[in-house]
């Protein structure tokens, strides 16, 4: 068991050195490939147990982004279906499916950019929150197609992912303004559309994304500003079909304030919130643009998943 490498990847995800739902999904797929390359298992049964153990470690790192268990499930599905294969065949299945997931994921981000860019008009002002590869793919692709857009990016406290976003946008030459999270409603009148990513999308079309997203959606709704979500189909949450709620990750209070200075203080630090479907105008996926009400069909049709299956 290549403990150190797998634990390092798991730790990178937990501590957010690797962050963003798509990136953590690809990191998990890659970890399974590494575990396969380095395994010392002598039998198929031992190998299956080892992969199951590694899967559990990876899935436990961050609880909200369903891209993580969906990636693990995609990579290990072949293994569960194969009852007679020998060890080398099983190893090949994992390595192939891990590569497949990673390539499909990168392609999906590009495709989302192309599809989403069609919904951006020349001269638009776009507001984005946190740091989403998918949302930025739409923005960058629209700009590359010659649309003269401007972006307003939120800081996204307490972890400041907005700083990653503005750096990325400025590198592309896109005019960008940074605002504090609480200034969103103040500037909403200048915005043509909001574009954010997603960590999970539930069967009823509710979108789970960085804390603050639902407040932005509310302000957009009030100002009649379009609210777009850019997300690959592996961000849809199969278990919400059978009533499971998406777990919201509660992170270390010290991200918000140094608790040593406030020993009596209670601090709550949820990393994500839930935006109800009624505030979402459309979801841009690699398979096309869908209304949030189509989330149920995406989960039913796209996933090789049946109610009762565990992920």
Tokens 């891990």 correspond to what residue? 98
Contacts of residue 144, Cβ cutoff 8 Å, sequence gap at least 6: 172
Among residues 79 and 139, whose Cβ is nearest to ligand RUB? 139
Among residues 13 and 93, whose Cβ is nearest to ligand RUB? 13
Contact between 162 and ligand RUB per CB under 6 A: no
Contact between 169 and ligand RUB per CB under 6 A: no
Count of Cβ atoms closer than 10 Å to residue 259 Cβ: 14
The Cα-based distances of 215 to 20, 259, 272 in angstroms read 20, 27, 12
Please identify every residue annotated as catalytic.
130, 199
- Select the residue interacting with ligand RUB from 29, 30, 74, 133 (CB under 6 A): 133
Residue 90 C-alpha from the chain's centroid: 28
Pairing state between β 207-210 and 272-275 = antiparallel
Lay out the site mask for ligand RUB across 2-31 (x = CB under 6 A, - = otherwise): -----------------xxxxx--------
Strand partners, 270: 250
Lay out the site mask for ligand RUB across 54-83 (x = CB under 6 A, - = otherwise): -----------x------------------
Dig out the tokens for 306 from the structure: 């049946």
47 with 93: CB under 8 angstroms? no
Contact between 210 and ligand RUB per CB under 6 A: yes
Contact between 209 and ligand RUB per CB under 6 A: yes
Contact between 201 and ligand RUB per CB under 6 A: no
Q: Which residues contact ligand RUB (rule: CB under 6 A)?
A: 19-23, 65, 130, 132-134, 161, 196-199, 209-210, 271
């Amino acid at each position: 068991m290549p403990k150190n490498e797998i634990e390092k990847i798991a730790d990178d995800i937990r501590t957010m050195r690797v962050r963003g739902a798509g990136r953590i999904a690809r990191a998990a797929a890659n970890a399974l490939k590494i575990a396969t390359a380095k395994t010392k298992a002598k039998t198929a049964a031992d190998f299956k147990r080892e992969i199951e153990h590694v899967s559990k470690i990876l899935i436990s790192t961050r609880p909200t982004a369903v891209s993580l268990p969906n990636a693990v499930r995609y990579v290990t599905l072949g293994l569960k279906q194969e009852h007679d294969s020998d060890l080398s065949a099983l190893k090949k299945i994992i390595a192939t499916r891990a590569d497949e997931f990673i390539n499909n994921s990168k392609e999906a981000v590009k495709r989302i950019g192309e599809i989403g860019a069609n919904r951006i008009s020349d001269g638009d002002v776009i507001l984005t929150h946190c740091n989403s590869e998918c949302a930025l793919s739409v923005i960058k692709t629209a700009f590359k197609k010659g649309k003269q857009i401007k972006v307003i990016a939120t800081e996204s406290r307490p972890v400041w992912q907005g700083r990653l976003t503005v750096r990325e946008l400025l590198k592309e030459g896109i005019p960008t303004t940074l605002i504090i999270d609480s200034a969103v409603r103040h500037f909403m009148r200048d915005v043509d559309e909001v574009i954010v990513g997603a960590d999970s999308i539930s069967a009823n079309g509710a979108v789970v994304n960085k804390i603050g997203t639902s407040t932005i959606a509310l302000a957009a709704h009030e100002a009649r500003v379009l609210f777009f979500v850019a997300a690959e189909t592996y961000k849809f949450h199969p278990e919400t079909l059978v009533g499971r709620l998406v777990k919201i990750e509660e992170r270390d209070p010290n991200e918000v304030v140094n608790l040593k200075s406030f020993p009596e203080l209670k601090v709550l630090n949820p990393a994500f919130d839930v935006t109800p479907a009624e505030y979402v105008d459309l979801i841009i996926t690699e398979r096309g643009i869908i209304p949030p009400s189509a989330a149920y069909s995406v989960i039913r049709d796209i996933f090789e998943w049946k109610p009762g299956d565990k992920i």
